[in-house]
Structure 1
């Protein structure tokens, strides 16, 4: 496996300074934002698609440092009823796929999206209960009329450009569990897979090792994010796991994001990484930092230190003892 980082946390650094910093930390890969929620501080698709010399210089800056791009990330919501952001999300996704093809990057990371509750709605709606029955009816309409048609069309587009789509299983979006990922994959095809992030599984009550086994058996893990979650049992009893308080309200929240090793111990992370290798995922483990209790630099360095202790790096050899 290779160790990488989602470089949005270094958005204040120019591209080459960021790459030098990542290389000095001993990493192998970068995951780069191309717009929408992650921003495009290090990679403007319009510029790189329009100017071949800038594209070559971009590729060279990365390859000269012995790094690879694990994925291009454009998390947005192409299904939202808010038309301006929906169009921006879609356009950025299309450009990101075209750029990934040119850069020979195999994966584009994004969200599935969430539409409104009905045609003409003003805001997205995320149903999370099967009763009263109208919630289930809304969900069925969203999948049938919005989610599946969109990804059937644009999944085929990605496939034609030799790019896989890795959907992050993130609450607030229709694809947020192994079951919803596999349901969409069945309707669309193998181009759809997961950008598996344990932090979003833990707060939903899903065991990441079990999720790896479920999705790995289907060959449905396209990318992996390394981020942790701390769950506060007392606050869960007060607010539940669907706590809607601001992430800034750390003392009261039921759960908060942490850097690797600060929500769950390294044995747990070793089990996750071992499960990934067991199901045949030997690609990049990409650090994502959203830990409000540690600075960007310290959170990143702690994640690197902790993951290096448990990340399998070498190629597997024959079992000499068998």
Structure 2
């Protein structure tokens, strides 16, 4: 497996300083966010599209440090029924265009979430089958908006030479677990696979190891290495549906944490062993979102877990 780094985790650093740090820490490749929910701290998407010299310099800076560019990320909600959705779609389309210019065949993004009716102006995430209106909303989202959107998006991606789109199993998306990924893939084809992020499945009550076995290597296109911890005494009283913002970590029922701070090294060893067992050989991209420590500290602690747990020979 390829030890990758989601560079937003060092978003406060310049592009060059981030690359130096990634190389010094021993990463093999990087994942660059192009915009939408990311501030895109390490890339100017419009300039990269317009300026061949900028593209050449960008790639040279990565390669001269012994790194490769594994993927571009444009995660957002391009299906939001408002101006934000339109703006996010523009970034998706520009990311596809840049992928072609950089010869990148692999995109990471989120599936998107429409409104609940043709007149909605905000997204609507349905998580229950009752009352009955929820099922009607969900069927409308999938059949009238979601599948048609992705049928078109797949064809657009193909026209730019893209071969794989990895959808992150994030909440507040129509694809948030293996079952919903498989449903979409069956409808629009094998360009769509999963970016499996254990941190999200943890808080939703799933088991990422079981999820990996269900998906199989043929449906897993990317892996985000991120942990989550269910917070004792808070979880038991209020459950996992917590709407407090992530900066209120001392009050939340669960939090994203550095690897090993939610689940042991032994758990991560089993996770990566099973990934290897089913034949996954792609990128494992470290994404650090633990607000209880500095980003660089969290990256180093997480990296220690990764280097011990991955079935690779890291010193």
Same fold (TM over 0.5): yes
Provide the residue aligned with 1:184 in structure 2.
184
CA displacement at 1:169 relative to structure 2: 0.4
Q: State the secondary structure of the residue aligned to 1:69.
A: strand
Q: State the secondary structure of the residue aligned to 2:305.
A: helix
Q: State the secondary structure of the residue aligned to 2:233.
A: helix
Provide the residue aligned with 2:310 in structure 1.
311
Q: Structure 1: where are the runs of 5+ without partners?
A: 315-322
1:240-279 to 2 correspondences below 5 Å:
240-279=239-278
Q: Structure 2: where are the runs of 5+ without partners?
A: none
CA displacement at 1:45 relative to structure 2: 2.1
For 2:274 and 2:157, the matched residues in 1 are separated by: 28
Q: Is contact 1:239–1:253 with CA below 8 Å preserved after alignment?
A: no
Runs of 4+ in 1 over 4 A off after TM superposition: none
Deviation track 1:273-306 (CA, whole Å, cap 9, x = no partner) reads 1111112211111110110111101001111111
Deviation track 1:62-90 (CA, whole Å, cap 9, x = no partner) reads 111111112111111111112x2111111
Count of residues in Structure 1 that have an aligned counterpart in Structure 2: 313
Provide the residue aligned with 2:15 in structure 1.
15
For 1:241 and 1:159, the matched residues in 2 are separated by: 38
For 2:214 and 2:155, the matched residues in 1 are separated by: 24
CA displacement at 1:96 relative to structure 2: 0.7
Provide the residue aligned with 2:287 in structure 1.
288
TM-score normalised over the length of structure 2: 0.96
Deviation track 1:166-191 (CA, whole Å, cap 9, x = no partner) reads 11001111110100001000111111
Provide the residue aligned with 2:89 in structure 1.
90
Provide the residue aligned with 1:156 in structure 2.
155
Q: State the secondary structure of the residue aligned to 2:229.
A: strand
1:70-89 to 2 correspondences below 5 Å:
70-82=70-82, 84-89=83-88
Q: State the secondary structure of the residue aligned to 2:167.
A: strand
1:1-322 to 2 correspondences below 5 Å:
1-82=1-82, 84-163=83-162, 164-216=164-216, 219-313=218-312
Q: State the secondary structure of the residue aligned to 2:293.
A: coil
Q: Is contact 2:81–2:115 with CA below 8 Å preserved after alignment?
A: yes
Q: Is contact 2:10–2:296 with CA below 8 Å preserved after alignment?
A: no
Q: CA RMSD in A?
A: 1.4
For 2:53 and 2:74, the matched residues in 1 are separated by: 23
For 1:103 and 1:213, the matched residues in 2 are separated by: 33
